[in-house]
Amino acid sequence: MKKTANPQKNRKKMTRIMVGLTGLLFLVFIFRFSMIMITKKVNGENLSEHVNNLYTRSSILAAKRGTIYDIGGSPIALDATSYSLVAVLTDEWSEDTENPKHIVDKEKTAEALAQYISMSKEEILTILNQEDLKQVEFGSAGTNLNYATKSSIEAEELPGITFEETPSRLYPNGIFASHLVGFAQSSASEQEADTNEEKKLVGMMGIESLYDDELDGSDGEVTYQEDSNGYRIPGTQIQEKEPVEGDDLYLTLDSRLQIYMESLMSQVYAEAEPESMTAMLVDPETGAILAASQRPTFNATTKDGIDSQWQNLLVEDTYEPGSTFKILTLAAAVNEGVFSPFATYTSGSVEVEGGTIRDYNKDGWGNITYLEGLARSSNVAFVKLVQSMGYDVWESYMKAFGIGQSTDSGLENEATGNYSYTYPLEKANTAFGQGVTVTPFQLMQAFTAIANEGTMMKLNYLDRTENPNTGEITVSEPKEAGSPITAETAQTVLTYLKEVVYNENGSGKAYQIEGTEIAAKTGTAEVVNSSTGGYYTGYSNYLYSVVGFAPADDPSYILYLTMKRPANLDSLNGSKYLSEIFNPFMTRAIEYDNLNTEVTGDVNQASMPEVTTLSKDEALAALAAVGYNDTAIIGSGSRIVQQYPYAGTQTITNQKAILMTEGAMTMPDVYGWSKDDVLKVSEIAGINFTFEGEGYVVFQSLETGSILNAATEVKIILE
């Protein structure tokens, strides 16, 4: 007989099983919980750290990049903030109609923006009318905006217009030894970078690149804890690592001379339209570069012109120097005792194994003295001098002067140049600077031996480095680069070089300046056509140059200028154009030299105070308190937002100070101002001026008080 199932008994059995399983699971849970309590880990992850990370926030404290100053403490490159213009097109971020956060009136917005950025109203409208975009930017025209432009746009109160900040580098002098100083820029684009750390400034060229490690600071960091609502959790500590500022660099450049050099270079470059130009002013006693320039060039702040010439011509461009090289030949001949100034020779041509070498006047001037041959820049005279001393001896002097060798400038891509020296004709050609290539740096370094009693000085552009964190100062001491000639030879050469300027037959008569005796040598060198390997033909296809020593008997300065292939040459030599730079610039340099060596009660210096954020009256009072009484104000606002000179700059108090307020930029009354002072307005306002003449302002095309904007064209006439 089959047993009948007992439901009650089965239920009890299932209950016992469930209780047992529940108890087992509870024990497992207790064990697991105990292990978590003991180890504070789940799957190897520390729970305390995980929770801490959920509520821990940190932000970068950006380090200040070191400032680059000139020899007198005027800033050349300093940190700044630039702004990118952004327009919000979507209305989804606008919370109410009274305070819209998007563009409401595109026509009005485009018309207003066209006053401040280099785009037309139509171009701006094209951008604003794009569909399916939430926000737009305005390309290069809307980037790298300065604070003054940003303030002017904000004053228009345009809904939907915002700005994004980017760390940037300000070069307050605009075009200012741009290839030597170089530039720094953000290491990543806006699209690639979302943090200040990623947008760190990095040196891209010149001294900014060469000394990037020294200029670059070490970022700090602040760490804190906040709750889910973004409030700081009471009782938690804020941990802060202070940023370390980068070192400040003081260059040997003198802003007073550099700005004037750039002005003269721009003027002649526009007139002559050459392929390129270079200029260098050096103190021969120390090798310090006081001013250096080239054309084409660029504005380091705006990058305008950067694509026209990336190469630093002073160290990267090699060329045949022509007759300025004869200075070295003369020095070697004098040092070897083979130069007899009043001995005679037959000019016109000389036969050398392999060919005939001629003077530029192929018929010559008959029998003339070697001193007259120097004044006339006779090739034949210098070939005969090299033959007299011997080719091997002459080559040893070229090497002693550093020809064909690096100057160890430290600048990127420095070229060494070379010379062909296999055959007699090649050797003879080097006597007058043909068949030998140099850089301006090489040649200028060699010239220091002539002006510095036979001792050649290594060119330098760094005066000292200062650590703002410790106050430590590291001075760059002058360095000798050799002694190729004696002091007696150097003095004799300077005496002979005066013949080039003051002899009635001299090739350098155009370089006479009032009140100071000049020793000089001119050059007219053939230029190699890279396509054919031969020389260009035609009187405009030369490299024209001059090197001058002033004062002639004991030079404080060496000035070297080159101009390659001027398109608008209206005579058979380039002296007309080069003298337009040489004469006024050397005159200015000597004036400054006299000012620096004379002790007078008329020259007072002070540190420029910080006046940004002050009212106009407060700023003027602060400047007057330390001796600045010549101040001009740009702008329609009541509070100062920019100043020049910059705070902390050590300057002469009788120079003009420029202040800018918030609001619309307005044209000041510049009648009677110097060109240098007008250029300060150009830089601080970001407006380009065109100049005509030299001296002081007698006409301004824009009336005083008129609005200045990116489209404004202002002509200034000086007399």
Handedness of CA 23, 25, 26, 32 (dihedral sign): positive
How far is C-alpha 354 from the geometric centre of its chain's CA atoms? 47
Structure tokens at 94: 């606008």
Q: CA 118, CA 398: separation in Å to the nearest integer?
A: 52
Rounded Cα distance, 260 and 630, in Å: 21
Count how many residues are written for the chain: 719
Task: Give the span between the Cα atoms of 75 and 157, in whole angstroms.
Answer: 34
Which residues in 487-517 are b (16+ Cβ under 10 Å) and which e?
A: eebbbbbbebbbbbbbbeebbbbbbebeebe
User: 75-88 and 68-69: which strand pairing?
Assistant: antiparallel
Distance between CA atoms of 622 and 515, rounded to whole angstroms? 41
Q: Are 273 and 566 contacting, i.e. CB atoms less than 8 angstroms apart?
A: yes
The DSSP symbol for 142 reads G
Q: Which residue of the set 276, 323, 378, 507 is catalytic?
A: 323
Beta bridge partner(s), residue 689 = 714
In DSSP terms, 438 is beta-bridged to 319
Bridge partners for 59 per DSSP:
222
Q: What does the DSSP assignment read for 416-485?
A: ---B--SSHHHHHHGGGT-SB-B-HHHHHHHHHHHHTTT-EE--B-EEEEE-TTT--EEE----EEE--S
**Catalytic annotation present for 323:** yes
Q: And the tokens for 113?
A: 């923006």
Beta bridge partners of 248: 466
Contact (CB, 8 A) for 536 and 564: no
Q: Distance (Å, rounded) from C-alpha 161 to C-alpha 157?
A: 8
Amino acid at 684: I
| Cβ-based neighbours of 441, under 8 Å, separated by 6 or more | 314, 315, 407, 409, 414, 459
Reduce the DSSP state of residue 24 to 3 states and report it: helix
Pair of tokens at residue 461: 């552009």
What are the Cα distances from residue 137, in Å, to 89, 123, 140, 201, 341?
11, 12, 9, 22, 71
User: Known catalytic residues?
Assistant: 323
